[in-house]
Structures are given as C-alpha cells and as structure tokens.
Amino acid sequence: MNSTRPSTFTQYRTLLAKDIRREFRTREMLTAMGIYAVLMLVVFGAALATTVAAFDILQMSGGLIWALIVFTSLLGLTRSFSYEKEEGALEALLLAPLDRSVIFLSKASSNLLFLAVVELIALPLFYFFFLTGSGLAPTFWMTLGPLIVGTVGIAGIGTLLATITMGTRGKDVLLAVLFIPLIFPLLYACVCATTVALLGSEMIMDTYVPSMALAIGYDVVMILVSWLLYDFVVSV
C-alpha cells in the first residue's frame, strides 16, 4: 500500500473529524459545558431576583453573557486534552509526520465548534430568562460581532494554555490562573461591544468600533503567537 505525504489541509481535516466524531459519540465536553452553562443561568437568576425590578438588566447583560462564556469555556478547555493523554494518543500525533501547528489549528477549531454549540443553546436561554420584555434595541444583531471574535480568541488562546497545563498536577486551577489574565483585553473589549449593541444608543459606534478593533487585533496577535509557539509548547 502506497503512501504520499498528505496535504496540511487533509491532516487538519483528519484531526478535526476525529475530535468531532469522538465528542459527538461521548458528548463529554458538550454535556459538561451545557449543564454548567444552565446552572450559571440559574445562579444569575437567583442573584438578580431582587434587583431586576429596580435595575435595567440590559446594562448588565453584556458582562453576564461573557462571564457565562468564559467560565463555560474553561470547563471545556480543561477536558479538551484529557482524552489525548489518557492512552498517550498525543504522543502518536507527535510521532506522525505532520507540522505540529496543524494539531493546534485542529484542536482550536474543535474547541471553537463545541463552544459555539453550547453558546447556541445557552444564549437563547439567557434571552428567554432575562431579556424578554426588556425592549431590545435594533442594534441587537450587532452582538454577533463580539460573540464570534471573542469565541474565536477564547478557543485559540485557550487551546495553547490547555496544552501548556495538561501535564501539570493542578491543571484546572493553573489554566484559569493563566487564561483569565491573558484574555482580559479581549474580554473587556467584547463586554463593551456586547453591552452597547444591546443598549443601542445613538453613540453606539463610538464604543463598538474601537472595542471590536481591539478584540480583532488581540485575536490576530495572540492566535499567531499561539500558532508559532505551539511546536515548542507541545514538545516540552
């Protein structure tokens, strides 16, 4: 049987398909993240139960949405490499003739996909629990921008950090300690952009555009750095 060196895209597709097949068979990450997101909504509901009448919840929604996304993604990221380590399958990937940045791209893509699936479930629930009857602004659709850019950044930066921490004893805590400070500029920009899009004032673009520029710039730089560092990080 002959072999020819497969293209980078073929290897990327093979790795991604493996992650998707495994996840949709076990539903390990999706179930954990989904349940966690719903529980966070319940906690938000309890926390806001007495303040809702006096306070415009729209003002807080941007922050709450991103708290939901960040903590849910942390849970998924810590699990994204656990099955690669279980029987040493990651070593088999490192022994294969492939550029190690392909492992990063495929793992970041699968993390992005799983986080997006959870957001597709959790965010409509958030709307249903907290925003129905709030009178959404016509700029509501603009929340899609920070949601996409923020989720891409979280998946990219989180994949690098999950790789760094996967072999450590206190990986759950260490990942959170590294992840939240590192994504803070992205998180801040996304919270601002999401909040102004939900509120929809006349001056929306004065905040939305610079916030999105910061978020996109931060994504590009950090994902590029992660991609370049990955060979070193995964080999250590």
The residue ranges that bind other proteins (CB under 8 A) are 1-6, 10-11, 14-15, 18, 21-22, 25-26, 83, 86-89, 91-99, 235
CB of 4 to other proteins, least distance (A): 5
Cα gap 219→33, rounded to integer Å: 23
Q: Which is nearer to other proteins, 85 or 205 (CB)?
A: 85
**214 close to 185: Cβ distance less than 8 angstroms:** yes
Locus of tokens 């560092």: 229
Amino acid at 158: G
C-alpha torsion sign, points 13, 14, 17, 23? negative
CB of 89 to other proteins, least distance (A): 5
CB of 171 to other proteins, least distance (A): 19
Q: Which is nearer to other proteins, 93 or 154 (CB)?
A: 93
Q: Which is nearer to other proteins, 120 or 232 (CB)?
A: 232
**230 close to 104: Cβ distance less than 8 angstroms:** yes
Q: Which is nearer to other proteins, 22 or 148 (CB)?
A: 22
Nearest to 69 by CA among 139, 158, 161, 136: 158
Which helix or strand (DSSP H or E) is residue 99 part of? none
CB of 112 to other proteins, least distance (A): 21
Amino acid at 215: A
Q: Which is nearer to other proteins, 189 or 234 (CB)?
A: 234
CB of 181 to other proteins, least distance (A): 27
CA–chain centroid gap for 19, Å, is 16
